[in-house]
Amino acid sequence: MMRAALRAVLLLWAAAGTASACAPDALGTARVLTLKREHARYGTAQYGPLPLQKGEVVLTFDDGPVPGATDKVLQVLAQQCTQATFFMTGANLSKYPELGLRVERAGHAVALHSFAHPSLKSMTGAEQLADLEKGTQAFARVFGHEPAAYRFPYLEETPPILAALKDRGVTVASVDLGIDDWAPNDMRVDSMVARLLDRLKQAGGGIILMHDANGPTGEALPAMLKAIRDNGYKVVSLRWEDSAGLSTP
């Protein structure tokens, strides 16, 4: 409990320090949405919506942490004084634990995206659960606690993993829209911005899927965040309560 409380205080202190340095035209973070630590499912691509207001968005990044690519994303987010949720693979956390901690220390929420990013549907139930356990252990070694949320690789949910997440009280995070920021899609900055705005217009806001492991995403991120701001969307930062009711990343 004391460790969780200290983490919450440090994150609030870091956020306050960042806010004081924000440029007047920075995107910023409009509010923090604290969710219960429970087995819930969000994201209209598969489930129900987060309790967001019209025009609110949640920035999420998958597949990191990856040196260079994740560093660029963190730099851009810091410049815009805005916060995101990073769904990390256990394999990359095992390779780059300090980079994972940098994400958390910058005030962003951290969650799990499997261990090895496999196609779970091609695996036996036992193999799927082994990947989940390995990913959970890797996450806990870095952050000192198990993940509060999980995103399926390729959004391919499976009954064995769903059942295990329910038993663990872990939230399943799907998406409301994505920008298709992976090859062989068009990865030019203008194209990614256009896809983002088109899909935001259709959805009205929601959970945005991006990939910090992809270099072109970081290069396009300044333009995408500017487009979000210029079109009147507001960023919501996610947090989860711990067992003591405190807000944690």
Q: Strand locations in the chain, DSSP E?
A: 31-35, 41-42, 56-62, 85-88, 109-112, 149-150, 171-173, 177-178, 206-211, 234-241, 247-248
> For residue 147, which amino acid is it?
P
Q: What is the chain's length?
A: 249
Active site residue 62: yes
Catalytic residue among 62, 63, 176, 181: 62
Catalytic residue among 117, 211, 212, 242: 211
CA angle 237, 240, 242 (to 5 degrees): 150
Neighbouring residues of 65: CB distance < 8 A, sequence distance ≥ 6: 86, 88, 92, 93, 96, 99, 100, 102, 103, 212
- How far, in Å, are 36, 139, 240 from residue 244 at the CA level? 11, 20, 11
Active site residue 71: no
Closest CA to 151 of 82, 199, 106, 210: 210
Neighbouring residues of 211: CB distance < 8 A, sequence distance ≥ 6: 61, 62, 63, 64, 181, 182, 217
Encoded tokens for 3:
């460790």
Catalytic residues: 62, 211
